[in-house]
Amino acid sequence: MAGSHHHVFANPYGHVFTLECFAAAPGCVALGPPSADFSWFAGTSWQLAICAACSQHLGWRYERDSGGGGFFGLIPQRLQRSADGLA
């Protein structure tokens, strides 16, 4: 996204997040209604992205406001590879 896989952002409260962008994120689910408030990627709305197994916050799911799909912006320190190496 925006020409890079790796991004660093701060939210309105000053918390800094490092994100990596993925087209798909097996085991990750979007939670809540999409919001355009304070979106880090222009022209997108976001939802929280959590682990489907344990509900830990993993990052955000971004949907393009113009349609055409979306992507996940995930916090790399919170990600783990599955035993089969596919996720």
The domain ranges of the chain are 6-78
Report the distance separating Cα 75 and Cα 14, nearest Å.
16
User: If you write DSSP's letter for every residue of 50-68 in order, what string do you get?
Assistant: EETTT--EEEEEEEETTSS
Distance, CA of 24 to CA of 2 (rounded, Å): 17
Is the overall model pTM greater than 0.95, yes or no?
no
> For residue 4, what pLDDT is reported?
67
Q: pLDDT digits over 7-55, tens only?
A: 999 888 999 999 999 999 999 999 999 999 999 999 999 999 999 999 9
CATH number of 6-78: 2.170.150.20
Encode pLDDT of 52-85 as tens digits. Answer: 999 999 999 999 998 878 999 999 999 987 776 5
Burial of 79 (0-12, 13-18, 19+ CB in 10 A): middle
Cα–Cα dist 21/83, whole Å: 22
